[in-house]
Amino acid sequence: MRLSDPVSRLPGVGEKRYEALRGAGIRSVGDLLNHFPRDYDDRSQVKTVSMLIYGAVNTLRGHIAAEPENISFPRKNAGASGKPLIMTKARLRDETGELELIWFNQPYLKRYFKKDTEYVFTGKVDFQYGRARMESPEYDCGESVSSGRVVPVYTAAAKGISQKFLRSAIHAALKNLDSEVTDDLPACIREKFNFFDRKTAVYNIHFPESDGHFLHARRRLVFEELFFMQLALFALKNSIEKEDGETFINLDLKPLLDSFPFRLTNAQFSVLETIKKDLSRRRRMNRLIQGDVGSGKTAVAIAACFLAAQNGYQAAIMAPTEVLAAQHYGQFSRYFAPFGFHTVLLTGSMTRRERSAALAEIAEGRAQMIVGTHALIQTGVEYRRLAMVITDEQHRFGVNQRFTLTYKGSGSALLPHTLVMTATPIPRTLGLILYGDMDVSSISEMPPGRIPIKTYSVNSSYRARLHAFMQKEIAQGRQVYVICPSIEEKTAEDGGDSYAAVSKAEVANVAQYTRELSRALPGMRVACLHGRMKPLEKQQIMDAFKAGEIKALVSTTVIEVGVHVANASLMIIENAERFGLSQLHQLRGRVGRGNHQSYCVLVSDVRNNERTRARMRAMTKTCDGFALSEMDLEQRGAGDFFGVKQHGLPSFTIANLYRDMDILKEAQETAVQVRGGEIAVSEAETERIRLKIRALFGAYREAVL
């Protein structure tokens, strides 16, 4: 059997399972073997009934003591025509006692289990109704890869694909795989680090022969994943450096900067000089600007787009939310209109007539500045002379979305210059992976006169004092944000998850909080904002808040990114333990934008968790986004680092960018050596590397990888 063979060749993979696996992206035997475990269960200690540990998962071997039976129960609220609930009961017996086995709605099990036949069962054991009981256990007859050993646990591949089936299918694939499997990792690198060959590594990541074998296998596979990712990013950067871009002749920013009601910081001037240098050359710019919340990235973006318009080109900026896109539209319109540059807005919520008008202005070149959301990269959007594209809050977009905007038809043989912005500072080593295809500039200075935000951490017993604090700020003409982690209350009965299982703390929600706050602030307008609202409704609320008509805005994290209301002076974050440090810092950055003292209050009743206490302390002691991002990365790993499970790269199947930092450094150093020719690889190995890294980013870069 070969890695390229369809997964349908494996025993037990019928048409339904094949379609389910294919829908999950598992088409070949190789795809299946690269579906690595997320965890492991130690089922090597097989117990007897007398050795049971109640409240824990146990593995037992024994005989079925009597013929199983199916018992029907009417379902609650099902009505006369509703299907009954079927419970299958069996009894396991060994030399030390008996255990009751229970399954629900699997009546076929009555025919599967045979009296006096030996089976192995794994499941949680409880003591109910005077007897030991195991509910919905996994089961096997005879020797199996799912019992009597350390067994892999997988992320669900697709509906109808069980853990037991995955284990047996993967084991069968490994058992029947050709002995000679092509290894994409060059032989000299395997020898240097004393790595397993790939077949041995893959076998031991699924079915470890020992702890040592597992650790060796994981190190090899993590290295491989990070090594090829780093090479792919180097290849991307190298190809971009060879691409030509429009050369901007007129680089005079003085007219625009004179129209700003503020003076740029030295850091902003420095970044702009770098951008001007990029644009004056034939090489296409591909630059990331990272800067802390409130450091002035938007002003730099406005200046960069002004240069494009001033040289007769179009510029586009893509924002992650319609609220932020509308804010950008207002800013660009205000600064560009006096120079005769027309700005249009393009979002998904526009009417057909509005969209058609905007598309015509873009295609005909009457719009020099285009502001929008993902709508900018949808089918039907044609640009006349696009020479500058900006992605705001890069962590909200994937690499391929950035490529799509860059490669939109521009009416020119040359690709547009690219600028991306992020307010999430990252360590350099991690940055080589997250933004390894880009040049990086930092705005490391805050605008003068910014008053540091005072941050406090309290529990819910301070609620009355918080209400009084809100009243005081509003009485002084200020406004208030309240952030809640959920939209509305859910219970297990109405189809939602029980929050009690998630957190002992009461979960705040915008609907309930808005009602309570309206009662606590009589005579003051309180409104709520969340992601399920229609875009027009969200925009109307934000417009009213910016105008000062709404005094307190209760919101989910929809306001996290970029929203600017200078009059807001107080940010209250409920259930603060549910947010990462980087996200808390982003939220805090929505206040402190005016010339008055601002405050952030973190409310959490979780006090018996040292990690939570450490995070709250860090927030109260520093406003340094770099320091907080380091701590956030250390605690939560890169997957959740940005508050969303997306960091702009193809998903890692096994690597953890923080836990595997030592392997990351080795992989990066090795990639640099291969790229520089210090490590010699054969022509055949070079071709395999090229195919491997080309597959990572798909068709977007086919021509250059």
pLDDT attached to residue 450: 81
pLDDT attached to residue 495: 31
Report which of residues 637 and 380 the model is more confident about.
380
8 Å CB contact between 398 and 325 = no
Q: How confident is the model at residue 630 (pLDDT cuts 50, 70, 90)?
A: confident
Tally of CB atoms within 10 A around 608: 8
What average pLDDT does the structure give for the chain? Answer: 84
Q: How confident is the model at residue 89 (pLDDT cuts 50, 70, 90)?
A: very high
Tally of CB atoms within 10 A around 516: 15
Residue 497: pLDDT above 60?
Answer: no
What is the side-by-side order of every strand in the sheet holding 343-346?
A: 343-346, 369-372, 314-318, 386-391, 417-422, 286-291, 439-443
For residue 59, which of 168, 154, 147 has the smallest C-alpha distance? Answer: 147
Tally of CB atoms within 10 A around 157: 22
* Terminal C-alpha separation, the chain: 30
What pTM was estimated for this model as a whole? 0.67
Q: Measuring CA to CA, how many Å separate 118 from each of 113, 115, 575?
A: 9, 9, 50
Q: How confident is the model at residue 489 (pLDDT cuts 50, 70, 90)?
A: very low
Q: Is the dihedral of CA 459, 465, 469, 475 positive or negative?
A: positive
pLDDT attached to residue 651: 65
pLDDT attached to residue 128: 83
Q: Are strands 343-346 and 369-372 parallel, antiparallel or unpaired?
A: parallel
Residue 118: pLDDT above 70?
Answer: yes
Least confident of 196-210, 217-231, 311-325, 494-508: 494-508
Q: How far apart are CA 360 and CA 483, in angstroms?
A: 39
8 Å CB contact between 72 and 47 = no
pLDDT attached to residue 99: 93
For residue 369, which of 351, 389, 353 has the smallest C-alpha distance? Answer: 389
Tally of CB atoms within 10 A around 448: 8
Residue 177: pLDDT above 90?
Answer: no
DSSP 34: T
- The DSSP annotation for 474-510 comes to HHTT-EEEEE-SBSS---TTTTSPPGGGT-SSPPPBH
User: Among all chains, which residue has been given the structure tokens 């002084």?
Assistant: 476
Residue 262: pLDDT above 60?
Answer: yes
Tally of CB atoms within 10 A around 231: 24
Q: Once rounded to an integer, what is the mean pLDDT over residues 105-114?
A: 91
For residue 232, which of 703, 692, 702 has the smallest C-alpha distance? Answer: 692
pLDDT attached to residue 143: 66
pLDDT attached to residue 233: 81
Describe the crossing of helices 211-241 and 198-206 by its angle, rounded to 10 degrees: 120
pLDDT attached to residue 404: 66
Q: How confident is the model at residue 142 (pLDDT cuts 50, 70, 90)?
A: low
List, for residues 1-36, the tens digit of each pLDDT value: 888 889 999 988 888 888 888 888 899 998 899 999
Residue 639: pLDDT above 70?
Answer: no
pLDDT attached to residue 700: 43
pLDDT attached to residue 277: 95
How is residue 43 written in tokens?
A: 């089922």
**Most distant CA pair in the chain, distance:** 91
pLDDT attached to residue 412: 57
List, for residues 595-620, the tens digit of each pLDDT value: 889 999 999 998 778 888 888 999 99
Q: Once rounded to an integer, what is the mean pLDDT over residues 687-692?
A: 88
pLDDT attached to residue 400: 55
The CATH code belonging to domain 254-281+296-422 is 3.40.50.300
- The DSSP annotation for 302-350 comes to HHHHHHHHHTT-EEEEE-SSHHHHHHHHHHHHHHHGGGT--EEEE-TTS
Least confident of 78-92, 264-278, 334-348: 78-92
Per domain, the residue ranges of the chain are 1-44+151-176, 48-148, 254-281+296-422, 454-622
pLDDT attached to residue 491: 35
Secondary structure (3-state) at 152: strand
Q: Measuring CA to CA, how many Å separate 362 from each of 245, 331, 336?
A: 20, 19, 16
DSSP 445: -
pLDDT attached to residue 589: 87
pLDDT attached to residue 640: 43
Q: Name the superfamily (CATH) of residues 454-622.
A: P-loop containing nucleotide triphosphate hydrolases (3.40.50.300)
Q: Once rounded to an integer, what is the mean pLDDT over residues 487-496?
A: 37
pLDDT attached to residue 507: 41
How is residue 32 written in tokens?
A: 């299946």
Q: How far apart are CA 185 and CA 688, in angstroms?
A: 9
Shared fold status for 254-281+296-422 and 454-622: yes
- Name the CATH topology of 48-148: OB fold (Dihydrolipoamide Acetyltransferase, E2P) (2.40.50)
**Alpha helix stretches (DSSP H) within 138-265:** 163-176, 187-193, 198-206, 211-241, 254-259
Q: What percent of the chain has pLDDT over 90?
A: 44
Residue 295: pLDDT above 80?
Answer: yes
Q: Once rounded to an integer, what is the mean pLDDT over residues 271-283?
A: 93
Q: How far apart are CA 570 and CA 477, in angstroms?
A: 12
